[in-house]
Amino acid sequence: MMTAKHRILEAGVERIHVVEQGSGPLVLLVHGFPESWYSWRRQLPVLAAAGYRAVALDVRGYGRSSKPQDPAAYRMLDLISDNVSVVRALGESSAVIIGHDWGATIAAQSALVEPEVFRAVGLLSVPYSPPGGPRPSEVFAGMGGGQEFYVSYFQRPGRAEAEIEPNVRGWLAGFYSALSADTMAAADASDPHFIAQGGTLRERFPTGALPSWLTQDDLDFYAAEFERTGFTGALNRYRNMDRDWEDLATYAGSPIKQPSLFLGGTRDASTMWLSDAIDAYPQTLPNLTGSHLLDCGHWIQQERPDDVNRLLVEFLDSL
């Protein structure tokens, strides 16, 4: 088996770090918040063994990829451009793109905007919702009643960083635990997606044992990456949601017509809150090959790697 290879690719004006394993049709793996290429560590060797060239990247702002200073440099159109540039820098003309969390939204909108490059799309944890609708900041501001939704909390530069960066490892452990099926709080506990007035996210994180999928070494890896980079690049994704809404207005209501796959967790708030988006798949993903809900939380490819790997290989083989 070919071992995984790290590379820094020139992607337009930016540099994108990728980890590559295997040979065959290209499969681009895009992580979410707050993660890195490493969240695909259990998929890379399996996809490679199945005959695919699996490439997991560090999204702009993360890991060893470029971290532009301008918050506007993290708009969706720039991330789509990065993905196209990665495909071309790898010497390919097309790829299947698969994303988790924010990576699912990046993957979906890459497929929407660049259908000639991204010939199929797999979405993990966050369902596809076409661009359009009300301005995102107004939607998020209206959630939570007297509490603040975490996306709104992330908007102001420096605010969330001040909570997270004094203890990156502890914050990550709590955040990962809060959204994992085996460590999340009981249903009647305070929701960790919301912040009390004047409070922090951390106050609602569980403490104690790590989730079963997360070893101390895994946590060390993630923490070391964010200790080195800080969190601003990662958080800037949230700070561009209104800008993306404007940029993608011409795609309002548009379906993704390529073959697609959705995998979600039965105990993941993203899947539950966006159940209407899943119900709309006959219109929004007309070439959906499968939609599967697994018994897990938000970190689906790490919580349920064997099932995710089987479903991804079946999807890729069907193409």
List residues with catalytic annotation.
101, 298
| Three-state DSSP string of the chain | CCCCEEEEEEECCEEEEEEEECCCCEEEEECCCCCCHHHHCCCHHHHHHCCCEEEEECCCCCCCCCCCCCHHHHCHHHHHHHHHHHHHHCCCCCEEEEEECHHHHHHHHHHHHCCCCEEEEEEECCCCCCCCCCCHHHHHHCCCCCCEEHHHHCCCCCHHHHHHHHHHHHHHHHHHHHCCCCCCCCCCCCCCCEECCCCCCHHHCCCCCCCCCCCHHHHHHHHHHHHHHCCHHHHCCHHHHHHHHHHCHHHCCCCCCCCEEEEEECCCHHHHHCHHHHHCHHHHCCCEEEEEEECCCCCHHHHCHHHHHHHHHHHHHHC
CA distance linking residue 28 with residue 108, whole number of Å: 12
In the numeric block, the tokens 């697994």 are attached to: 294
Phi, psi of 251 (to 5 degrees): -100, 10
Q: Which residues contact 191 (CB under 8 A, 6 or more apart)?
A: 204, 269
For residue 156, how many other CB atoms are within 10 A of its CB? 11
Q: Which two tokens stand for residue 257?
A: 């017509």
Q: What's the start-to-end Cα distance of the chain, in Å?
A: 23
Q: Which two tokens stand for residue 224?
A: 């070391």
